[in-house]
Amino acid sequence: MKLLAYTSPARGHLFPLVPILTELTSRGHRADVCTLSSELDQLTALGIGAEPIDPAIEAIVIEDWRKRSLLGATKSVMRTFTARARLEGHDLERAIERDNPDALLIDVNCWGAAAVAEASGRPWAIYSPYLLPLASRDAPPFGLGLRPRKDKLGAIRDSLMRPFASATFDRLAMPSINRLRAREGLAQLASYNELLARTPLLLALTAEGFEYPRSDWPANVRLVGAINWAPPQPVPAWLDELGDPLVLVTCSTERQRDEQLIPAALEGLPAEGISVIATSAAHDPSAFRAPPGSRVVRFLAHDPVLQRAACVVCHGGMGIVQKALAAGVPLVVVPAGRDQLETARRVEVAGAGVRLSPRRLTPQRLASAVRTAIERRAGAQRVSRAFASAGGARAAVDAIESIAAGAS
């Protein structure tokens, strides 16, 4: 089998895909991917065929951090996805003509590529490194970070909020998606749920135990657990010089409104006898002053830090949240936007950490939240076991082989 994958220009969408692609190659399949130009060399070194996505797509960046309201930020993200999607279709068509794949695997955020994949007649799948925004009778409406409730008041709340939550997303996304589908001669859809139902396989890179359990998962959904990968990096010698307990503080690789995590941690945690390693990522590390016994760097391999970390403090991106939980490390999540309200709430509901509102973030409250989260390591370890039992990259490739075999 020859599989062609297509990703959005985000490392958080490429890196979880890498173990799936290497598992494919280990089984004798060919795996190619269209992705970020900066990552091609290391993918090729892993035996993966790699080509860059259209540079014009890479140039369209998410700027939701400029918006003050959740609705404004959501609109900004939708405009970005729409602008990229207009270019993705032709980009994927060129890649299909070049590689002639037997099956396609498309990033959930690539609406234009999804339309081309469906119209191609080839077996195709969508993968999502995010929580799936699927409506369910067993879960609250997606997007608001509501706590699940099983009582009558919860049922009333959900019935009132569900139309609002779904209509807001559908109103912003579906007109653009349907224009893309019309260009490919595909049927018009009423909701994003319908779009996710079109693919023969919807790979969710998470698992129940973190995600809310549901009795009504669509038949095409396969939850395969957290899939984590990062390029190998040297472990700095100074890591051994930092004392325990040690807390890892991370910001997103895409700019978001999360930079306040670092000064709050550097002020609040060392005063409590806690060492801090902060990775500033999209922010300039020189903008932060670390006290003795703590460090701020732009990037650092998280795996060796997680082997020692008592807790992780983050914005709530699924990449770092699931990597921490897979390692059995509890979290304090201070959601910055996007889907992070939902991610933070699931950490809390799983008993794997603490959700702290950014409006309440102070050094003192963060220190208190970290102390509480450290006591919830058992919850993080439960989630880690749930991820492992879901099967990971092997389960994902089993599912991909199944749809490919079914179409032959």
Contact between 46 and 142 (Cβ < 8 Å)? no
CB-based burial, 98-113: b 16+ in 10 Å, e otherwise: ebebbbbbbbbbbbbb
Do residues 383 and 396 share a domain? no
What are the distances in angstroms from CA 35 to CA 81, 104, 210? 15, 14, 28
376: pLDDT strictly greater than 80: yes
Share of the chain above pLDDT 90, in %: 75
Range of the domain at 319: 237-387
The structure tokens listed for 16 are 């979880």
Residues 255-283: what's their mean pLDDT? 89
Query: Does some domain include residue 232?
Result: no
Q: Which of 245, 252, 257, 250 is nearest to 367 (CA)?
A: 245
Gap between the Cα atoms of 194 and 184, Å rounded:
17
CA angle 57, 111, 282 (to 5 degrees): 45
CB atoms within 10 A of CB 369: 23
**Number of domains comprising the chain:** 2
Same domain, 213 and 276: no
> Looking at the structure, do residues 258 and 202 belong to the same domain, yes or no?
no
192 & 243 share domain:
no
Asked, for residue 230, whether it belongs to a domain, the answer is no
Domain identity same for 92 and 192:
yes
Given a contact cutoff of 8 angstroms between Cβ atoms, the answer to whether 358 and 335 are in contact is yes
In tens, the pLDDT along 65-77 reads: 666 676 677 777 8
For 144, the token pair is 């608001």
Q: Please indicate, yes or no, whether residues 210 and 290 belong to a single structural domain of this protein.
A: no
Mean pLDDT of the chain: 92
Location of structure tokens 């003509």? 97
Whether the model pTM is above 0.75: yes
Do 162 and 307 lie in one domain? The reply is no
Write out pLDDT tens, residues 97-141.
999 999 999 999 999 999 999 999 999 999 999 999 998 999 999
CA 317/CA 334 separation, integer angstroms = 10
**Structure confidence by residue, pLDDT tens digits, 155-198:** 999 988 888 777 777 888 899 999 999 999 999 999 999 999 99
The answer to whether residue 202 sits within a structural domain is: yes
Check whether residue 124 and residue 169 sit in a common domain: yes
CA atoms 136, 138, 139, 140: torsion sign:
positive
Q: Say which DSSP state 288 is in.
A: S
Based on the fold, state whether residues 130 and 149 are members of the same structural domain.
yes
Residue 218 and residue 92 share a domain: yes
Residue 217 region, left (φ>0) first, then alpha (ψ -120 to 50), else beta? beta
Instruction: Output the domain CATH number for residue 287.
Output: 3.40.50.2000
pLDDT score recorded for residue 62: 73
- What DSSP line would sit under 5-19, residue for residue? EE--S-HHHHGGGHH
Residue 323 lies in a domain: yes
Asked if residue 354 and residue 289 are part of one domain, the reply reads: yes
- Let me know whether 137 and 69 are in one domain: yes
Average pLDDT over residues 299-304: 89
Reported confidence tier of residue 281, pLDDT bands at 50, 70, 90: confident
pLDDT in tens, 202-231: 999 999 999 999 999 999 999 999 999 988
Ramachandran area for residue 334 (φ above 0: left; ψ -120 to 50: alpha; else beta): beta
CB 354 within 8 A of CB 348: yes
